[in-house]
Structure 1
Amino acid sequence: MDDISTGILFALLACLIVISGYFSGSETGMMALNRYRLKHLANNGHKGAKRVEKLLDRPDRLIGLILIGNNLVNILASAIATILGMRLYGDLGVAIATGLLTLVVLVFAEVTPKTLASLYPEKVSYASSIVLTILMKVLSPLVMLVNMITNGFIRLLGIKANHGADDHLSSDELRTVVNEAGTLIPRRHQDMLISILDLEHVTVNDIMVPRNEITGIDINDDWKSIVRQLTHSPHGRVVLYRDQIDEVVGMLRLRESYRLMLEKNEFTKETLLRAADEVYFIPESTPLNVQLLKFQRNKQRIGLIVDEYGDIIGLVTLEDILEEIVGEFTTSIAPSLSEEITPQGDGSFLIEGSANIRDINKGLKWKLPTDGPRTLNGLILEHLEDIPESHLSVQVSGHPMEIVELEENRIKLVKVFPPLVK
């Protein structure tokens, strides 16, 4: 070293600091990459992404290579700085060189390159992967030796070294990814994706048409009444039963009944029953994502929901599940919901007690609790723990509510105000 001029040593020191900055920036850039975007680019043939993906297949080797290179460079830079300090300031130069080198390395070989790499991880990683791939081949024996020692030490600590990173996302993590997509995914599409993820948390009895609202035809009625109900039904399918809904005998497609009407000699109760499809029953606790697949597998579009005792408690259709994903197929608030909710001039809403809480939340962007009762009537009764005998006012989940109309043992009409601002 004594034969090397001071100017050359300064030049070598500057080069070493640049190389140290390269290793520091490469490490940060590689670790800051979006792994899913990287996989997408690699699958589409991006050469830089393919190189980086190959390096990241064994992150222990990549980190080992970068740290070997970085430490060798920093140690050599420290030695050169010590020589320069002693040449210029004698023994005091060692302390001066140590302090100055620490500041220079910190600013120019650590903070600055790592900050730039975190801001532009793809540009840094794809470019540096060329040199790192070459170094990995040249220094592979040394890298493997260091990794063997390191992994052996890790095993002594009782920790299993897992080289394959777990890139799988849970539904909650995927929900966060979708929400953070910003303008990359249109808001409408984000809502649909979130709704699909939420299907597993919603069961068929959360969206069902309640038993008392099921449109059906009692096959024991007189024939003229049956024909009149068929011709005036607003639905594509109706339930056929005897005396009560639990004695269901079939599900009739109105299109099939119209076909039978054209064949006057064939249009009787017997032919109507023969034309009816077998009823498809669904357990009440079935999640929507499961039921959607079952509808597809069984080629069904409608089913009756039964409780643990086998009693019919409601009805659900394929359209109901699809509306949970894409929203109502009608404009504004759904007709059924608009009939149950009436806006008032003071900002409140008159809501029928039978209105479904989830529908209220979706239509009015509220957050009434949905983990208990499914109707507004049930929610208020649960809160009161009693059936009110007269009109009264309560506050449920931050919403002031005034019971407007009672009918027998249920709340028929409620005046609900938006949630109070805390």
Structure 2
Amino acid sequence: MSWDQLGQELALVMETQTAMAAHWGGAVFSALLGSVFSAATVTLVAMPTTRLTVLRDDAQGAHRDALNRYLKNPIRIRSRWLVGRVACTAMTAVLIGQAILPLNEGWALPIAVLGTLATYGLLTEVTTSLVRRHPSKAAPFLLRLLFPFEMLLAPVAWPLEWIARLTGKLIPHREEDARYREHEVGLLLEEGQRDGTLEEERVQMLKNMLEFEDLMAVEVMVPRTSVTAIDAETTLEEALRVISSKGHSRYPVYRESVDNIIGLLYAKDLFRVVEDQNLQGKKVGEIVRTPVNFVPEAKPVSALLREMRARRLHMAVVVDDYGGVAGIVTLEDIIEEIIGDIRDEHDVEEDPIVELGNGGMLVDAAMAIDDLSEMLGTEFAEEGDFVSLGGWIIHRAGRVPEPGAELEAWGMRFIVREADERKISKVEIHRKDGQSVPPRAQEPFVAT
């Protein structure tokens, strides 16, 4: 072999090696860029819109601009990222194939496919793991990093953007979407409570506001059995004694039956009559205020609050599907759903749940069955026309049981401790397996 031929061979080898190095380098860069597209997509899709909005409001300069651009049109940006991922994957496969082709033409294709999967998969896993450690910091950084590539991919990604917008218009807004946004806000509130930026009371109040729109009148009312109603034929002297013992400012007034509410008695009206004239012979029906605001059980509490504010009402009577009185709702009841219990000098502090020394607990029968279910960690597999623990027991028994009556269900024993002919007041609850109630440090059990 002459020196010229040797030189040509060496030059060819060097050229081949240089080309292979360039191909491998390009393949790694392409796979790395594709992994960044994937990491950005995973990060931004996983972050709630509310959190991104907070990040934007707290950011400054280029970071703020990048987040604002994404929030204005996330579909456009993610469509371009999708095209970028596909292009990077294809480019990686082509470059690996070109690098292998001079060495072994027959194995170039399978090695290119396997090499692409391995390289792209490894880099994607690494970049995604790194980004997930600090998503709030990574989000604006990735948006800025990928912006030049978005501009290059814009013409190619336009058809995808158009299809995505068309699909969004064809698919109607679902209630679940709003529920998901509420869940996002709930997660932000919990995060704020954990890091100390929000107080527990404020977090609870904000959560109550989120749930407020879903409440119905039947869920916040004082049940009929707990309402102090006054007969229209009651004398003012007797009414004065009732008001003195109960301490409320307003009372429903009925004629013949509680289902026939004719008006409301205001304590201040009665006191004014006491000051001005003789009470002898006068009846409650003579000073009652009308009309009464009747609302159905299913009326949203938010709408009821707006109505009561507009009409300057402080009490509404809740009626069932048959027109019977189910209970009453006061303005105080509605406000308490947001800010918690409001207690004045007339309220008696009483814990609705008292833990007993024998492992059981004494529960107020007016406790909502859903709250009891959550506290006990059970799933009550039963439906019926009841909302409270006492209502459920009456539903199961078919009558108001006498004190001492027992009922077994869901792996527990329910013992009626206080009751009269109309309602149950107190119920004692025990686990049948002898463990304490509520269960402590145990997996929730499913009631059957």
**TM-score, normalization by structure 1:** 0.73
Structure-1 residue corresponding to 2:70: 52
Counterpart contact for 1:283–1:306, Cα < 8 Å? yes
Structure 2 Cα separation of the partners of residues 255 and 387 of structure 1: 36
- Of 128, 141, 155, which residue of structure 2 is paired with 1:127? 141
Amino acid at match of 1:254: A
Structure-1 residue corresponding to 2:7: none
Matched, 1:17 2:35: no
Deviation per CA, 1:368-417: give whole Å up to 9, x if none. 85953344444234334577689553312332123457756876764322
Question: Residues 337, 376 of structure 1: CA spacing in aligned structure 2 closer, same or farther, 3 A cutoff?
Answer: farther
- Of 180, 191, 204, which residue of structure 2 is paired with 1:183? 191
Structure-1 residue corresponding to 2:321: 308
Amino acid at match of 1:184: G
Question: Residues 237, 12 of structure 1: CA spacing in aligned structure 2 closer, same or farther, 3 A cutoff?
Answer: same
DSSP-derived class of the 1:235 partner:
coil
Counterpart contact for 1:210–1:315, Cα < 8 Å? yes
Matched, 1:239 2:252: yes
Deviation per CA, 1:127-181: give whole Å up to 9, x if none. 343454333434443444x749x96xx9xxxxx7448997985454345435544
Matched, 1:346 2:354: no
| Cα deviation, residue 234, structure 1 | 0.3
Question: Residues 267, 113 of structure 1: CA spacing in aligned structure 2 closer, same or farther, 3 A cutoff?
Answer: farther
Question: Residues 51, 400 of structure 1: CA spacing in aligned structure 2 closer, same or farther, 3 A cutoff?
Answer: same
Q: Which runs of 5+ in 2 are unaligned?
A: 1-10, 431-436
| Cα deviation, residue 242, structure 1 | 4.4
Matched, 1:209 2:219: no
Q: Which runs of 5+ in 1 are unaligned?
A: 155-159
Counterpart contact for 1:57–1:164, Cα < 8 Å? no
Give runs of aligned pairs for residues 148-159 of structure 1, distance below 5 A. Answer: none
DSSP-derived class of the 2:368 partner:
helix
DSSP-derived class of the 1:57 partner:
helix
DSSP-derived class of the 1:310 partner:
coil
Which shifted more, 237-246 or 91-100? Answer: 91-100
Deviation per CA, 1:58-94: give whole Å up to 9, x if none. 25641354135414631452244225x62xxx66885
Question: Residues 382, 233 of structure 1: CA spacing in aligned structure 2 closer, same or farther, 3 A cutoff?
Answer: closer
Counterpart contact for 2:30–2:89, Cα < 8 Å? no
Amino acid at match of 1:110: T
Question: Residues 102, 317 of structure 1: CA spacing in aligned structure 2 closer, same or farther, 3 A cutoff?
Answer: same
Structure-2 residue corresponding to 1:157: none
Structure 2 Cα separation of the partners of residues 400 and 279 of structure 1: 42
When the two chains are superposed, the root-mean-square deviation of aligned CA atoms in Å is 4.7
Question: Residues 43, 247 of structure 1: CA spacing in aligned structure 2 closer, same or farther, 3 A cutoff?
Answer: same
Structure 2 Cα separation of the partners of residues 386 and 209 of structure 1: 21
Structure 1 Cα separation of the partners of residues 374 and 109 of structure 2: 70
**TM-score, normalization by structure 2:** 0.69
Counterpart contact for 1:218–1:240, Cα < 8 Å? yes
DSSP-derived class of the 2:323 partner:
coil
Matched, 1:63 2:81: yes
Structure-2 residue corresponding to 1:329: 342
| Cα deviation, residue 17, structure 1 | 1.1
Matched, 1:356 2:369: no
Percent of aligned pairs with the same amino acid:
20
Structure 1 Cα separation of the partners of residues 372 and 83 of structure 2: 54
Counterpart contact for 1:81–1:97, Cα < 8 Å? no
Question: Residues 197, 306 of structure 1: CA spacing in aligned structure 2 closer, same or farther, 3 A cutoff?
Answer: same
| Cα deviation, residue 246, structure 1 | 4.4
Structure-1 residue corresponding to 2:95: 77
DSSP-derived class of the 1:402 partner:
strand
Question: Residues 31, 169 of structure 1: CA spacing in aligned structure 2 closer, same or farther, 3 A cutoff?
Answer: farther
Counterpart contact for 2:295–2:318, Cα < 8 Å? yes
Counterpart contact for 1:21–1:108, Cα < 8 Å? no
DSSP-derived class of the 2:317 partner:
strand
